[in-house]
Amino acid sequence: MAAFSDTADSPGRALRDPARLAAVRRYEILDAPTDGAFDDIAAVAVAVCGTLISTVSIVDADRVWFAASRGLEGVTEVGVEPGLCASAFCVDGPYVVTDALVDPRTLDHPLVRGELGLRFYAAAPIVTSDGHHLGTVTAIDVISQELTGEQSEVLSRLAAIVARQLDLRLAALQAVRAERALRQEAERRVAGAQPS
């Protein structure tokens, strides 16, 4: 599956794509209690990129939910305004804004104009093995900066690790369901074999 034809400035179709949203739902990650599975990813992104903030985000149709974050304690989701996560998740490869205050993609974004005062934003899309774009691994700061090629590569690799962890999560969910179904079937057979 190829990247969406939306531009990063206008991710509308990608946000509402039924196949992508079905993929988001099948992983059962949205609003799941944070279990620390992605905390190390966020910590590595902060360390490698030298930023104050990092997130592992999943993009839903109407919100960006944080599976993990570093430097945004207490914030669990943000809106899907174009320019940041809601735009970055649907492109192939890293998405970088070196100075959000002057970049036309982001200069009117609430996280840029608001209290946070975001200036630097770099993200790599989380893409499943079957090609669905689910979210991003980001590095964010309140000062503008450049992203090196090595930092960009690390963000991309971290996003790939998240995708693999999500696939492992899905396999575990499917195994539990299959085992439960087998157990219920065995219990029905035993109950049916009992003499009246």
Place of tokens 């980001």: 138
Closest alpha carbon to 124 in 63, 54, 37: 54
Residue 4 belongs to some domain of the structure: no
Q: pLDDT tens across 26-57, in order?
A: 998 898 887 788 999 999 999 999 999 999 99
Around 33, how many Cα atoms within 13 Å sit in the side-chain half-sphere? 1
Structural domain count, the chain = 1
Planar angle of CA 52, 54, 155, nearest 5 degrees = 115
Kindly indicate the confidence band of residue 5, based on its pLDDT and cuts at 50, 70 and 90: very low
Question: For residue 28, which amino acid is it?
Answer: E
Residue 1 belongs to some domain of the structure: no
Planar angle of CA 175, 27, 92, nearest 5 degrees = 130
In 3-state terms, what secondary structure has residue 41? helix
Q: Identify the CATH number of the domain in which residue 130 sits.
A: 3.30.450.40
Closest alpha carbon to 170 in 129, 135, 131: 129
C-alpha 52/C-alpha 10 separation (Å) is 27
Q: What is the mean pLDDT of residues 174-183?
A: 81
**Residue numbers of the domain that contains 142:** 12-193
Residue 7 belongs to some domain of the structure: no
C-alpha 101/C-alpha 98 separation (Å) is 9
pTM of the model: 0.83
Q: pLDDT tens across 92-130, in order?
A: 889 999 999 999 988 888 889 888 889 999 999 999 988
